[in-house]
Structure 1
Amino acid sequence: MTRSDTADPARLLTPADVRRLAGRLGVRPTKTLGQNFVIDAGTVRRIVRVSGVGADDVVIEVGPGLGSLTLALLPHVRRVTAVEIDPTLAAALPGTVREHAPDLAGRLEVVTADAMRVTAIPGPEPTALVANLPYNVAVPVVLHLLELLPSLRRGLVMVQAEVADRLAAGPGSRTYGAPSVKAAWYAEVRRAGSIGRNVFWPAPNVDSGLVELRRRPAPPAAVSRAEVFAVIDAAFAQRRKTLRAALAALAGSAPAAEAALRAAGVDPSTRGEALDIVAFARIAEQLAAGSATGPSASGR
């Protein structure tokens, strides 16, 4: 039998519970922290189901808020490490779990921190990221945690629908951009469903989407991730420019950019939106090779 077969289930939060907890804590959801609390039990059950987490998983949850998703996760996983920036919410979460799922309280660890600045996660290495992410920081949080935690093998995040489209977009898509390419450095990314507005309190002005991430090896490259990401940033800073023009400053000149692009097997008149992560890694390699053999490197 799995852990979830034997564990006592948690009593999930109802809309009335969410409002009662918020009132008791004096919490008023703020746009600054991107707080929209999930009030629908069916939605958090769906997130847990689609995430595919199981009895051996250690889940990192960012922005647990009042605990709706936390309570849905705890019966199914070995541990939940909840990273919460709001000290009031972080302090209250263990008590909410003890009230609604007393037999599962030992599986919870709360870290009071900004997920974009956290440098270490206590306890066992997380294997999965499952979170309702604040809309305004979703992309940097995902990228930071994928870089910080190589142990993460999978993820399912709920984000603004537009952000979900960007993260999961492929080359040539209207929504393909720097977030799409950078996420692809770490993982296979796909859209995993849509979420309406009425499952939140307060209801946001936009719809949400689920994004699934499955870790894969980074593209083979003789340069660092930072060097590849610098090329990506330059390529999309003015996305209507050709790569020859967009990479001119990074390469030192437009002719140097063109030489690197041709060496990488990329047409200099191409735009960044046409290339996948492997092509960007090749370009970064050629730019690095060019700078190593150019006039500055040789002392001329």
Structure 2
Amino acid sequence: MNPYSPTATKSIFRKYGIKPKKYLGQNFVVNKSVINNIIKAANLNPDDTVIEIGSGLGALTIELAKKVKQVIAVEKDGAMCKILQETLQKENIKNVTIINADILDSKNWKLPAKGWSASGGKIKNWKLVANIPYYITQPIIRLFLESEMPPQSITLLIQKEVAQRICAAAPKMNLLAISVQFYAQPEIISYISKNNFWPRPKVDSAILKITHIDKNRKKIDANIFFKTTRAGFSSPRKMLIGNLHKKLGIHREIILNIYLNLGINPEARAENLTIENWVELSTALFSHSTENVL
């Protein structure tokens, strides 16, 4: 029985005598139209390899397998892995590899971000598609955006408020938005009501797609960039120039001159700057005084 409705999903849990694990953030999509929307947003091709995180009962896994060459389903819950394996056998689906592991603990398996595949060869044209537990959203995105071999795109079903924060723009920037937008371009595809899940979470979700990955890496060293942005947001409600002076040890006059050269308002707060502003500012500060910035 495919888990595409509340009744079917509950029936599977009764059959195996198990319950959703709250500590793992298990909330299962029980509306096939939501699955179809995720698939559509991912823009999959027949030769793609998809990494799916938190495959659960396989509602998304099964539909992914119909669209791509290979699905690598990483699931932390051993019980879910067993159920999914049985479902795949009944459906005669043979292009799914299940890995019972914590995606964030690369010691337990070969991280796909470094080119791993089920056959031991290099992954080409791979994408990340998942309905992930809310509590691992930030570390998951960071893991794959910072990887040596990032995916072509990332399509995630995540908490609505987190998706909105990730897609924020000046003058309402935040560190989470900067940490994603430095590497890529995020976009909210659609919002998903909490009524489409079982157990029903307390908040709504959103389909977030991240593309154009790796766009800023060659412009500036990430360590320099994030050292500057963390300093800038150290006291978000205060003026940026004071934060940079205090945290980076650079004289206000020097920062002000850089502001003028870059066209940055001297009274700006960290949230007022765009990603381009931050890249230019970080580069300028580092170029002026390597010892102070590093």
Give the match for residue 4 of structure 1.
Answer: none
Give the equivalent residue in structure 1 for 2:36. Answer: 45
In the alignment, does 2:137 pair up with 1:138? yes
Q: For residues 68-217 of structure 1, what are the structure 2 equivalents within 5 Å?
A: 68-99=59-90, 101-102=91-92, 104=93, 106-118=94-106, 120-121=111-112, 122-123=116-117, 124-125=122-123, 127-148=126-147, 150-173=149-172, 176-217=173-214
SS at match of 1:152: coil
Percent of residue pairs identical: 26
Deviation, structure 1 residue 202: 0.5
Instruction: Assess if the C-alpha contact under 8 Å between 1:164 and 1:209 holds in 2.
Output: yes
The whole-number CA distance in structure 2 between the counterparts of 1:257 and 1:193 is 44
1:21 to 12, 34, 49: 12
- Write the deviation string for residues 90-147 of structure 1: whole angstroms up to 9, x where unpaired: 3432222222x21x2x211222332233361231526211111211221221121122
Letter in 2 for 1:227: I
Give 1:85 shift. 2.0
| Segments ≥4 residues shifted beyond 6 Å | none
Cα offset, 1:55, TM superposition: 0.7
CA distance in 2, matches of 1:222, 1:51: 28
**Are the counterparts in 2 of residues 84 and 112 from structure 1 also a CA contact under 8 Å?**
yes
Shift of 1:263: 7.2
- What is the identity, as a one-letter code, of the residue corresponding to 1:116? L
Q: Which residue of 2 aligns with 1:252?
A: 249
1-side partners of 2:277 and 2:28: how far apart?
Answer: 40
2:140 aligned partner, one-letter code: V
After superposition, where does 1:52-63 map in structure 2 within 5 Å? 52-63=43-54
Letter in 2 for 1:170: A
Provide, for residues 62-91 of structure 1, a one-character-per-residue CA deviation record: whole Å limited to 9, x for no partner. Answer: 111111111121100111111222233234
Indicate the RMSD between aligned Cα atoms, in angstroms: 2.7
Secondary structure of 2:208's counterpart equals strand
Instruction: Report Cα offsets for 1:146-181 as digits up to 9, x if no partner.
Output: 2225341112211111011111222223xx311111
Q: TM-score, normalised by structure 2?
A: 0.85
**SS across alignment from 1:32:** helix
**1:212-269: CA deviations, max 9, x gaps?**
1112443265642122122222323321121112223431255377258437623342
**1:286, distance to aligned residue in structure 2 (A):** 2.7
Query: Are 2:224 and 1:227 aligned?
Result: yes
2: CA distance, partners of 1:251 / 1:188? 28
TM-score, reference length from structure 1: 0.83
The 1:128–1:220 alpha-carbon spacing in structure 2 relative to 1, beyond 3 Å, is closer
Task: Return the letter of the residue paired with 2:26.
Answer: Q
Secondary structure in structure 2 of the residue aligned to 1:228: helix
Equivalences, count: 282
User: Does the Cα contact within 8 Å between 1:264 and 1:283 map onto a contact in 2?
Assistant: no
- Segments of structure 1 that go 5 or more residues without pairing to the other structure are 1-9
Equivalents in 1 of 2:141, 2:60: separation in Å? 18
| Aligned with 1:271 (options 266, 269, 272) | 269
